[in-house]
Structure 1
Amino acid sequence: MNADHGALAPGLRRYAALDQRLLAAVRGIHILGTVGWPASLENRMIEAYGNGRFALPQVHYRPPDLAEARAELAAIEAAAGGSDPQDVDPLGDYLRRTAESWRIAAQMLEAVGTSEVTAPSIALYGKPGDLIPGSQRSNLDAARYFVELSDELGADLLADESSVNVPADVLQAELALTLDAFFGAGRISVEVDPELTAKAAAGATRIRLRGGASFSEYDRHQLLAHEAYVHSLTALNGRRQPLLSSLGRTSPRVTATQEGLAVFAELMSGAIDITRLKRISLRILAIDMALNGADFVEVYRYFSDRGQSVADSFHSAQRVFRGVPLGGGAAFAKDNVYLSGLLTVHTFFRWALKQRRMDLLRHLFAGKLALHDVISLQPHFQSGAILPPLWLPPWMQHVHGLAGKLAFSLFVNRIHMHRVQEDELLLSV
């Protein structure tokens, strides 16, 4: 996964050694695996809900013992440096922040099945009421906006192809051909997994599709743009890093940037539609409902009332209640990051364009990085200690096209729609 650390400059070897300790310490920490539900339970409950039999699912978790990992992570935090970035090399700051986020995740998982999961999940992923950078609006405000807009426009924007359903095994073969052509033969496998809770999931060398699920053409585009050309791509680039092998693995602290970047990639590649924006926005509203006391059945009905199928409504509610009691007042906050991450990454891309720093945007794909890391680690990108990405998404390979989209976005955002009059539009053409 990483090059020989003996080839590194002596001043960097300490950080490389700490990075290896970090990877060893987190090997037994599996966030989604610990809070996930068995597919057999989901299938039984979906059948019951489809027949109008509503009851809270009986979910049993196995809290892991992560005391040893937490102690090692605390030791790595201390060894990496203090909390003042002015006194620490950016590499030490990166390692300290990363170890801290894993330690919080470990505390969260040890509390699985209790309401004590809520606070650390919010610490890692944020909450619906958090403000959007550069705005006085919150993530919750943005979610409401996209849901309302989708409700206004959605019925008129349904594409004919949205009803075309492709079985998982057919999509598996199609994606394998495409990914072999992009990354090289056999570098990323595509598998059908009947136990997968999400509709799809991606790692560095494997993309999984939920068995029995059907996929639309939009789903196919989203899988390529979101899973393959961001999640798998950044993992593969991160695995090439000679200094920080941890850049090949998603740490809790980079989740918002990574998921935001993946949804932004959908936007830039034309692989997102208003229904998708509504779906990720509804999850944020549902987290807010759960935090304010709604139970699992109430959240399920919320999704159902907004047009989702029985299975999709159940899976959406399940995402909100992973690892927490189902009676209300608790939530697993990870789904907060998709919209907040999208808005923050979009703002970062516009800011980088305005600063004429396209290099920052390319470096964002060098591994599993947070936006903070891309800026703070620039001295080590410049020195060559951190490598630039080998692979870039197709839409990032055409810099002038990307710059054109972002420049247009920068300008049109100055137009206030509430001031636009119909007569003005008619007279201008």
Structure 2
Amino acid sequence: MSQQAYLERLKALSTRLVLLQKPIRILDAIKWPAELEADFRAAKGKKLPALDKDFYQQYKFNFDPDQLYLALGELKQDVKRQLGRGDALGQILHVTIEQYQIVIELLRARGTPQFGHFSRLLYGSASDRIRGDRKTLRQMGERLCHIFSLPAVEHLNRPYNQHIDAQQAVDILQQRMNQYFAPGAVRVEISDNIVSDAAAGGDCIKVNRRAFFSELDLQVLEVHEGWVHIGTTLNGRQQPWATWLSVGSPRITAIQEGMAVLMETLTFSSFPQRARRISDRVVAVDLAEQGADFCEVYQYFLERGISEHDSYRVTQRVFRGGTLAGGSVFTKDISYVKGFVENVNFIRSAIQSGVPEIIPMLFLGKVTLDDLPLLYERYLEGVVIGPKYLPAMFRDLNGLYVWFGFSSGMSLTNLARVQQHFNKLFKKLPATEPIYEARTDGEWE
């Protein structure tokens, strides 16, 4: 088979997957009505929400699960037959197709004990270990929760006023998307059908009509939803042959969400309370996986000083689609911490190994870390094209190299001893108030 014939087959098979997966909407199929929060809080968090298998059956799919499962199976066989069992790109495509078959099994099992099994197959478990390390995600989550709950947080706790309404947020984000992407390439619009404050899909950011935002919230949305989620989608759509890189099966979730959180950090858009919420999600998943029910997980966060609203939100995210008695839950929310840690370790390792040029491939499309070496080889061969939309610090790697180089070097420091040294100095300081104080005109400085 000639190279051109191979590429044409790869594109045809890839495009079939893009079309087959299009009607699958995992989050839509497991979302809860917004009014459930008020009912739950009115019952003082003591009564489980009235959600079971029958509730989820009310959601009507835009596809026939049985037919789609069979169609994916046929595509999987065609990939083997047409590309060969040993073809590396074909193997990535094959695994991605299998992921969508498991997604169908997940959606069939909503509200049952089997739901958690399929969720762990797709997203992993809070008891999983960090790649290349002995620590579990739960241990990492607890450590981060501790860091982002230290007394120092209160000294940084500047009140960011959420005074920007949905329409204003749409206008601001649309302007920023037009600046980062080609004008008109990305839409920002108001939605009445999302539970979260905002969400990205394809080339569109949806903003909840009922939500209000601070300027910092919009910075987070700009880089998290825009630069990463939409940016990698559009970069994937630029691919001439491997068109499946424009769609995200669950196998890429950790790298996507972790990169989005990393971009929040590198652009100084994040803040301790948000980082704490992300870390709390890992703990919530682990508690629920170990058998805590919805009320118990909710109470756990209340007792640790989290507001009723935020305690409900973090708990609801974990139990959607599963069983409220615990054990069978949606484990996607481990992806933020898992992906952040693994992306950082990947970048540091690429620098240490002398191949920093592979780092921009993280934005090539919807990828996993295991895919990147092969995709980089195909990039060098011209089969895959580099990312069009790339954050500035990934376009010119000098600053990123120095940042991660210092980070790697400082990891050799014994932080406990260093902290012991400086604590002797800090103990002499007088008690202080938070550094941000209100002026008479109501502003903060």
Contact 1:114 1:325 in 2 (8 A): yes
**CA distance in structure 2 between the partners assigned to 1:53 and 1:271 by the alignment:** 33
Normalised to the residue count of structure 1, the TM-score between the two structures is 0.90
Which residue pairs with 1:198 in the alignment?
196
| Cα deviation digits, residues 347-386 of structure 1 (max 9, x gap) | 0011111223232111221211111111122232112111
**CA distance in structure 2 between the partners assigned to 1:265 and 1:50 by the alignment:** 38
| Paired amino acid for 1:252 | P
Which residue pairs with 1:14 in the alignment?
9
Which residue pairs with 1:120 in the alignment?
118
Q: 1:378 aligned to 364, 371, 376, which one? A: 376
1:163 Cα offset (Å): 4.1
| Paired amino acid for 1:72 | A
1:152 Cα offset (Å): 1.6
Q: Does 1:216 align with 2:222?
A: no
| Cα deviation digits, residues 17-64 of structure 1 (max 9, x gap) | 2112222322332211111123xxx22432550563642222311275
Contact 2:84 2:90 in 1 (8 A): no
1:315 Cα offset (Å): 2.0
Which residue pairs with 1:105 in the alignment?
103
Q: Which moved more, 1:70-79 or 1:205-214?
A: 70-79
Which residue pairs with 1:3 in the alignment?
none
**CA distance in structure 2 between the partners assigned to 1:410 and 1:417 by the alignment:** 13
Cα gap change, 1:244 to 1:424, in 2 (>3 Å): same
3-state SS of paired residue (2:148): helix
Contact 1:320 1:333 in 2 (8 A): yes
Structure 2 runs not aligned, ≥5 long: 426-445
Contact 1:46 1:310 in 2 (8 A): no
Which residue pairs with 2:313 in the alignment?
315
**CA distance in structure 1 between the partners assigned to 2:380 and 2:76 by the alignment:** 25
Q: Does 1:364 align with 2:362?
A: yes
| Cα deviation digits, residues 79-113 of structure 1 (max 9, x gap) | 3339xx99622211111110111111111111112
| Paired amino acid for 2:401 | A
Contact 1:226 1:265 in 2 (8 A): yes
Matches within 5 A, 1:338-417: 338-417=336-415
Q: Does 1:67 align with 2:66?
A: yes
Q: Which moved more, 1:106-115 or 1:13-22?
A: 13-22
Contact 1:292 1:329 in 2 (8 A): yes
Q: Does 1:28 align with 2:20?
A: no
**CA distance in structure 2 between the partners assigned to 1:22 and 1:289 by the alignment:** 36
| Aligned Cα root-mean-square deviation (Å) | 2.4
Structure 1 runs not aligned, ≥5 long: 1-6
Normalised to the residue count of structure 2, the TM-score between the two structures is 0.87
Which residue pairs with 1:49 in the alignment?
41
Contact 2:191 2:208 in 1 (8 A): yes
| Paired amino acid for 2:22 | R
| Paired amino acid for 2:50 | Q
Q: 1:272 aligned to 267, 270, 273, which one? A: 270
**CA distance in structure 1 between the partners assigned to 2:23 and 2:364 by the alignment:** 25
Cα gap change, 1:338 to 1:392, in 2 (>3 Å): same
Cα gap change, 1:251 to 1:44, in 2 (>3 Å): closer
**CA distance in structure 2 between the partners assigned to 1:25 and 1:306 by the alignment:** 44
3-state SS of paired residue (1:214): coil
| Cα deviation digits, residues 194-219 of structure 1 (max 9, x gap) | 33122221123211122222223332
3-state SS of paired residue (1:207): strand
**CA distance in structure 2 between the partners assigned to 1:319 and 1:334 by the alignment:** 9
Contact 1:90 1:377 in 2 (8 A): no
Would you say how many aligned residue pairs link Structure 1 and Structure 2?
416
Q: Does 1:136 align with 2:128?
A: no
**CA distance in structure 2 between the partners assigned to 1:44 and 1:289 by the alignment:** 22
Contact 2:201 2:230 in 1 (8 A): yes
